[in-house]
Amino acid sequence: MSGDAAHANPITVTTLRKMKRNAEKIVCLTAYDASFAALLETAGVEVLLVGDSLGMVVQGRETTVPVSMDEMVYHSAAVARGRRRALLMADMPFMSYATPEQALRNAARLMQEGGAHMVKLEGGAIQVETVAQLTARGIPVCAHLGLQPQSVHRLGGYRVQGRDEGAARQMLQDAKSLQAAGADVLLVESIPTTLAAEITGAVDIPVIGIGAGADCDGQVLVLYDMLGITPGHRPKFARDFMLGQTSVRAAVESYVLAVKSGVFPATEHGFN
């Protein structure tokens, strides 16, 4: 993306739907502060996700569960001050949307105080009513299926989801139900590549994948995984784009090109 990015049309929900129709890949990365927001946007990233992953990669926690609403608002507002064109999506943290009424209050905070354009929440059929309540009141929603990090204790770890036929059928039905409820975007995490492709083809809304193969409408990675600086084990679906690069911007531009061209994710980054 050139230096004229700040003067280009902003990325909106309508933009993302058009990109899906035109088979143009959507590029997303997590961002947690103003400086990275500006750099990522300049390098061509179209969607900035203020992920509750900040609990792990910024705060050093073992899971995303302890992240608070105040912390999400703080980081979202920081990213909002650094972006000019990219769409800003912010995670609803653990137990901030246990009821539709609670979800409305907290989503309003993310948009009014945090500058978010869209909120993301985890869960399938159980979230249909909440999604309907939010979207009916003008709040764009990204629904999150597959591996749901906020449920890691119930899942028994970070495990691939949807491998058995029953779970796969349920996930496909959940995707359709969430779309019918008004969800604007769907994010699928750590599911078999074939299932992700089926879901992507079955819904009209954009599907962004992470550990879900190359057939999704777009891709997202945790920024620190993409730069190869996350301590400890790197997920199978991640790739270190800093290798062979001389700057962070060059690494991000390499990621953008790899997603746009279909080079990333490769077969080795997906699950059967």
The count of domains in the chain is 1
Q: Which pair of structure tokens corresponds to residue 46?
A: 């179209």
Handedness of CA 256, 226, 29, 124 (dihedral sign): positive
Q: Which pair of structure tokens corresponds to residue 115?
A: 């500058």
Q: Give the contacts of 7 (CB within 8 A, at least 6 positions apart).
A: none
Q: 70: domain range?
A: 3-269
Question: How far is it, in rounded angstroms, from Cα 1 to Cα 267?
Answer: 27
Q: Where are the alpha helices (DSSP H) in the chain?
A: 13-21, 34-43, 54-57, 69-82, 100-112, 128-136, 152-155, 165-181, 193-202, 223-226, 248-261
Chain segment 75-89, per-residue pLDDT in tens: 999 999 999 999 999
Q: What is the pLDDT of residue 158?
A: 76
Judged against a pLDDT cut of 90, whether residue 64 lies above it is answered with yes
- CATH code for position 78: 3.20.20.60
Q: What is the pLDDT of residue 155?
A: 75
Query: Which residues have a catalytic role annotated?
Result: 189
Chain segment 18-56, per-residue pLDDT in tens: 999 999 999 999 999 999 999 999 999 999 999 999 999
Q: Beta partners for 70?
A: none
92: DSSP letter: P
Find the mean pLDDT for residues 174-187.
Answer: 98
Average pLDDT, the chain: 95
Q: What is the pLDDT of residue 3?
A: 44
Question: How far is it, in rounded angstroms, from Cα 185 to Cα 146?
Answer: 14
Q: What is the pLDDT of residue 152?
A: 83
Find the mean pLDDT for residues 88-116.
Answer: 98
Q: What are phi and psi of 50, to 5 degrees?
A: -80, 90
